[in-house]
Amino acid sequence: MYSIDLSGKNAVVLGVANHRSIAWHIAQALHSAGANLYLTYQNERLGDGIRKLTDEMKNVTLIECDVSEDENVESAFGQIAADGASVDLLIHSIAFANRDDLGGDFSATGRDGFRIALEVSAYSLIPVARYAAPLMPEGSTIVTLTFQASDRVFPGYNIMGTAKAALENEVRQLAYELGPRGIRVNALSPGPLDTLSSRAIHGYVDMKRIQAERSPLQRNITHDEVAKAALFLLSDLSSGITGHVLPIDGGYQIAGV
């Protein structure tokens, strides 16, 4: 009775860096469900790799967009609008902190490191929603990526925990604002996955091992499991859900030991 068919839908995916990126796995799932893709990438240093990844795919448009400047976000959605395209599905899968701020004492976090991490990893969802929303019809959805360090301490995650707490608050505020227009906003909260970003976190390997040991499923989760959950949250199957964070962590969050 129910299935996921995204033919004719346009999906904007922000945050593909390489084949390990969570955004890339979600983009592939959306594409295989029939969606047209608009993929944004941070800078030309990543451009060649992304062109190679998408070489053989139809209905994919690549747009450069560094979210640290609002004008870049405005211009990216301007290009999509100029195509005459609606934005039906939007994935924000972007985070950054200086490597020095992803380890050591949290109290050593400097003002600049705080600002950079919060601007890129949390603030960026706001201009993305601002410039995307006018292109989003009723029934469209926004999904961002967070991590459980938003409300628990994970050694090494440091300032990124602060950024994720802010991001999850934004999810609730945007869901409240955009709900009356039929636009849903949610977050996925995966357990540790090997990517360019996670590898920068001191203590990542231990974090991953401990999650596998202590989670009820007794293993780590996969990129594919995040992509499947994204498909659910972005599709009509989750039409009654907004303002929430969905953990994909093998149940780790419920473990008391």
The residue ranges that bind ligand NAD (CB under 6 A) are 15-17, 20-23, 42, 66-68, 93-96, 120, 145, 147, 190, 192-193, 195-198
Q: Which residues contact 88 (CB under 8 A, 6 or more apart)?
A: 6, 9, 10, 11, 35, 136, 137, 139, 140, 141
Q: What is the DSSP letter of 100?
A: G
Minimum CB distance to ligand NAD smaller for 198 or for 242: 198
Q: Clarify whether 157 is annotated catalytic.
A: yes
Selecting among 164, 176, 204, 228, the annotated active-site residue is 164
- Can you state the angle between helices 159-178 and 125-132, rounded to 10 degrees? 20
Minimum CB distance to ligand NAD smaller for 86 or for 222: 222
**Residues present in the chain in total:** 257
Minimum CB distance to ligand NAD smaller for 83 or for 194: 194
The distance of closest approach from Cβ of residue 138 to ligand NAD in the complex, given in angstroms and rounded to an integer, is: 27
The distance of closest approach from Cβ of residue 85 to ligand NAD in the complex, given in angstroms and rounded to an integer, is: 20
One DSSP character per residue, 157-219 reads: TTHHHHHHHHHHHHHHHHHHHHGGGT-EEEEEEE-----TTGGGSTTHHHHHHHHHHHSTT-S
For residue 113 the two structure tokens come to 């490191």
The distance of closest approach from Cβ of residue 7 to ligand NAD in the complex, given in angstroms and rounded to an integer, is: 26
Q: Clarify whether 9 is annotated catalytic.
A: no
The distance of closest approach from Cβ of residue 148 to ligand NAD in the complex, given in angstroms and rounded to an integer, is: 8
Selecting among 38, 41, 131, 157, the annotated active-site residue is 157
Which H or E element spans position 82? Answer: helix 70-82
Minimum CB distance to ligand NAD smaller for 194 or for 236: 194
Q: Which residues are catalytic?
A: 157, 164
